[in-house]
C-alpha cells in the first residue's frame, strides 16, 4: 500500500498521542496539517513561526522517533510555516523550514536570516524558555474571594465570578464582564477568579493583563513584524482576564486583533473575563462586532455598597490588620463614606496612621476630622475646564496657550500637568482628556501622566508644582 502524507502523519499522531498529555496534544498537534510526502521527507503545515519554534524546542525528540518508525532512519521533517507581514494587506505566505535547522529556507532556496531579538517577542511577557507552565499569571494572591465582602450591591457579580472560577469556560458566563465605578472592586474580583482557578486547576494557563499593556504589546509586535506570534501566544491562554477594557476605545488595530483572539478562545471553550467602568451599551468607539461579543455572556454590575456592606468591609479589614476599633467609630465611617470601597479603606489607613504616629486613641473627634476631609474632597467635582484654568493661572498663561501646539518647555509641562490632574480627578477617558486639552490623542495623555510621575520623583521644583496645584484643586 502506497504511503500518503495523511496516512504517515496519522500513524505518527497515534504514537505521539500515547506519549503526551491530552491538552498538549490538542494544542500542539491537532492544528498541524500533512501537506506532502517525498521519499523519506514529510512536509507538515503549522500555523505560525512561533508554533514551529515551540515544536522544535519541546517535541523534536518525540517527532523524530515517530517519523523514524514510519519512514526509516533517514526520515526528514519539513515545516510549511505560515508567515505574516504585519505591514502588508496581502495574504500570509508560507516558507519551508527543515526540522532542526534554525536558518530557514524560503521557496527559492535562499537562506532567511533569523532575528535573534525576535525570540524575546514570542512571549510578550518575556518568560525565559517560553514554557507554558512558566507563564506568570500576573495575579495578586491578596485579591481573593475571602477578602471580597458580599452584599446586595455586588451579589450577582460575586456569584457569577464564583461560578466561573469553579468551571472556567463551562458556564454561560463567557465572557464575564464586570463593570462599575472606580474603587468598587472590579480588579479585586477579576483577580479572585484567577487565583481560585489557579488553585483548583493548576494545569490551566491563567493570565491577567490591563488593556493598556495589551495594547502596548500589540504595538511592539507590529513594529517587530511578529503580529502572528503575538496572536498565537494569547490563543494559548486558558483563562484570559483583561482589566479596563474600555481603554480599547478608538484603538482600531488593537480591537481587531483582540476580536480574533476572543473568537479563538471562545470557540475552544476558554474563559474570557473583562472589567470596565461602564456597561457595553455605554462604551464609545468600540467596534460593534466586539461589543456584540461582550454581550454573549453576562454583564454584571458592581454598585456602591450599602450601609451594612460598608460596615462589613470595615470590620473585615480591621480583623485582617489585627486592629481593634470602637463600633461607634466604624458606624460613623460607614455612615459618611458612601462612594466606594477604596475610600472606606483609605479612611481606615489614615485613622490607623494618625493614631499610631501621634500615639493617640481612636476617638470620634479624630474620625470626624479625617472623614470630613475625605467627604470634602469627594463632593468637590472638578471639571477638565476648571483644571485647565487653575493650571494656566498658576503658570501665568491663558488656556489657549496651554492648548496650543508650542513645544516651549514650561508650556509643555503645564499642559502635561493639566492632563495628569484631569486623569487623576475626573472620570474622563484618556481620549476625552486629550480631545479637550488641545485635541491630543490618548497616547499623548498617557505619556504626560508618566512624565509627571517621573518628574515628581526626581525634580524637587516640579514636585512643588504638583503639591501646590493639588491644594488649589482640592481645597
DSSP-derived letter for residue 105 is B
Is 127 a domain residue? no
- Paired strand residues for 45: 33, 80
Q: Per-residue pLDDT tens for 73-99?
A: 888 888 887 665 433 344 445 556 665
Maximal CA-CA distance, the chain: 93
What is the pLDDT, as a whole number, of residue 358? 63
**What CA–CA distance (Å, rounded) separates 307 from 339?**
11
Total domains in the fold of the chain: 4
> Do 298 and 311 sit in the same domain of this protein?
no
> Do 163 and 297 sit in the same domain of this protein?
yes
Q: What is the radius of gyration, based on Cα positions, of the chain?
A: 28
What is the pLDDT, as a whole number, of residue 217? 87
What is the pLDDT, as a whole number, of residue 120? 33
Kind plus residue range of the DSSP H or E element containing 327: helix 327-336
* pLDDT higher at 90 or 116: 90
Q: What average pLDDT does the chain have?
A: 79
What is the pLDDT, as a whole number, of residue 1? 60
**What CA–CA distance (Å, rounded) separates 167 from 288?**
29
| Residue 148: alpha-carbon gap to chain centroid | 21
**What CA–CA distance (Å, rounded) separates 469 from 471?**
5
DSSP-derived letter for residue 90 is S
- 189 close to 177: Cβ distance less than 8 angstroms: no
* pLDDT higher at 211 or 103: 211
* Nearest by Cα to 244 from 278, 195, 294: 278
- 248 close to 429: Cβ distance less than 8 angstroms: no
Q: Per-residue pLDDT tens for 7-22?
A: 999 999 988 888 888 8
- Paired strand residues for 277: none
* Residue position matching grid coordinates 466606594: 340
Does the structure show a pLDDT above 50 at 366? yes
DSSP-based three-state secondary structure for 216:
helix
For residue 222, the domain's CATH number is 3.40.50.300
**What CA–CA distance (Å, rounded) separates 69 from 239?**
37
Does the structure show a pLDDT above 80 at 364? no
> Do 96 and 179 sit in the same domain of this protein?
no
Is 447 a domain residue? yes
Q: Per-residue pLDDT tens for 22-33?
A: 877 888 888 899
Does the structure show a pLDDT above 80 at 66? yes
Is 31 a domain residue? yes
pLDDT grade, residue 272 (50/70/90)? very high
Q: Per-residue pLDDT tens for 286-310?
A: 888 888 888 888 888 888 877 888 8
**What CA–CA distance (Å, rounded) separates 291 from 259?**
10
Q: 468 Cβ partners below 8 Å, 6+ apart?
A: 394
Q: 297 Cβ partners below 8 Å, 6+ apart?
A: 172, 173, 174, 175, 176, 177, 272
DSSP-based three-state secondary structure for 28:
helix
**What CA–CA distance (Å, rounded) separates 191 from 143?**
6
For residue 47, the domain's CATH number is 3.30.300.180
> Do 164 and 287 sit in the same domain of this protein?
yes
What is the pLDDT, as a whole number, of residue 452? 92
For residue 400, the domain's CATH number is 1.10.1750.10
What is the pLDDT, as a whole number, of residue 150? 81
Task: State mean pLDDT over 448-457.
Answer: 90
What is the pLDDT, as a whole number, of residue 125? 45
Q: Domain span at residue 327?
A: 307-379
> Do 362 and 401 sit in the same domain of this protein?
no
> Do 318 and 294 sit in the same domain of this protein?
no
Q: Residue 153 corresponds to which cell in the numbers above? A: 450591591
For residue 355, the domain's CATH number is 1.10.8.60
- 41 close to 76: Cβ distance less than 8 angstroms: yes
* pLDDT higher at 182 or 447: 447
What is the pLDDT, as a whole number, of residue 154? 84
Q: Per-residue pLDDT tens for 378-424?
A: 445 578 888 999 999 999 998 999 999 998 999 999 999 999 999 88
Kind plus residue range of the DSSP H or E element containing 195: helix 186-200
Is 117 a domain residue? no
> Do 293 and 171 sit in the same domain of this protein?
yes
Amino acid at each position: 500500500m502506497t504511503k500518503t502524507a495523511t496516512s504517515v502523519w496519522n500513524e505518527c499522531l497515534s504514537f505521539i498521542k500515547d506519549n503526551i498529555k491530552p491538552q498538549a496534544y490538542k494544542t500542539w498537534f491537532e492544528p498541524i496539517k500533512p501537506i506532502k510526502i517525498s521519499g523519506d521527507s514529510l512536509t507538515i503545515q503549522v500555523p505560525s513561526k512561533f508554533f514551529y519554534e515551540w515544536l522544535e524546542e519541546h517535541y523534536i525528540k518525540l517527532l523524530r522517533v515517530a517519523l523514524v518508525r514510519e519512514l526509516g532512519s533517514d526520515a526528514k521533517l519539513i515545516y510549511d510555516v505560515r508567515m505574516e507581514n504585519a505591514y502588508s494587506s496581502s495574504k500570509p505566505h508560507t516558507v519551508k523550514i527543515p526540522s532542526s535547522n534554525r536558518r530557514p529556507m524560503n521557496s527559492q532556496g535562499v537562506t532567511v536570516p533569523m532575528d535573534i531579538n525576535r525570540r524575546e517577542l514570542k512571549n510578550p511577557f518575556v518568560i525565559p524558555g517560553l514554557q507554558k507552565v512558566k507563564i506568570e499569571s500576573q495575579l495578586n494572591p491578596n485579591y481573593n474571594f475571602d477578602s471580597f465582602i458580599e452584599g446586595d450591591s455586588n451579589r450577582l457579580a460575586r456569584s457569577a465570578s464564583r461560578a466561573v472560577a469553579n468551571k472556567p469556560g463551562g458556564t454561560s458566563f463567557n465572557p464575564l464582564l464586570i463593570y462599575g465605578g472606580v474603587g468598587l472592586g472590579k480588579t479585586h474580583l477579576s483577580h479572585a477568579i484567577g487565583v481560585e482557578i489557579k488553585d483548583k486547576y493548576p494545569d490551566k494557563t491563567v493570565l491577567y493583563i490591563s488593556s493598556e499593556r495589551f495594547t502596548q504589546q500589540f504595538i511592539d509586535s507590529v513594529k517587530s513584524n511578529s503580529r502572528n506570534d503575538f496572536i498565537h501566544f494569547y490563543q494559548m491562554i486558558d483563562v484570559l482576564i483583561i482589566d479596563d477594557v474600555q481603554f480599547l476605545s478608538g484603538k482600531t488595530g488593537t480591537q481587531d486583533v483582540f476580536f480574533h483572539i476572543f473568537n479563538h478562545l471562545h470557540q475552544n471553550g476558554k474563559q474570557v473575563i473583562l472589567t470596565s467602568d461602564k456597561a457595553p451599551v455605554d462604551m464609545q468607539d468600540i467596534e460593534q462586532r466586539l461589543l456584540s461579543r461582550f454581550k454573549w455572556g453576562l454583564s454584571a454590575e458592581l454598585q456602591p455598597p450599602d450601609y451594612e456592606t460598608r460596615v462589613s468591609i470595615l470590620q473585615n479589614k480591621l480583623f485582617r490588620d489585627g486592629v481593634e476599633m470602637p463600633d461607634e467609630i466604624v458606624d460613623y465611617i460607614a455612615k459618611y463614606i458612601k462612594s466606594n470601597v477604596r475610600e472606606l479603606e483609605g479612611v481606615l489607613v489614615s485613622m490607623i496612621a494618625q493614631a499610631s504616629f501621634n500615639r493617640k486613641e481612636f476617638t470620634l473627634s479624630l474620625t470626624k476630622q479625617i472623614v470630613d476631609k475625605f467627604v470634602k474632597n469627594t463632593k468637590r467635582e472638578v471639571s477638565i475646564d476648571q483644571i485647565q484654568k487653575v493650571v494656566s493661572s498658576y503658570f501665568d498663561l491663558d488656556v489657549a496657550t496651554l492648548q496650543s501646539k508650542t513645544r516651549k518647555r514650561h508650556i509643555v509641562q503645564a499642559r502635561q500637568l493639566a492632563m495628569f490632574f484631569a486623569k487623576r480627578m475626573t472620570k474622563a477617558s484618556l481620549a476625552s482628556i486629550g480631545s479637550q486639552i488641545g485635541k491630543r490623542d490618548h497616547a499623548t495623555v498617557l505619556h504626560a501622566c508618566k512624565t509627571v510621575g517621573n518628574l515628581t520623583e526626581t525634580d524637587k521644583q516640579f514636585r512643588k508644582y504638583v503639591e501646590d496645584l493639588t491644594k488649589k484643586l482640592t481645597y
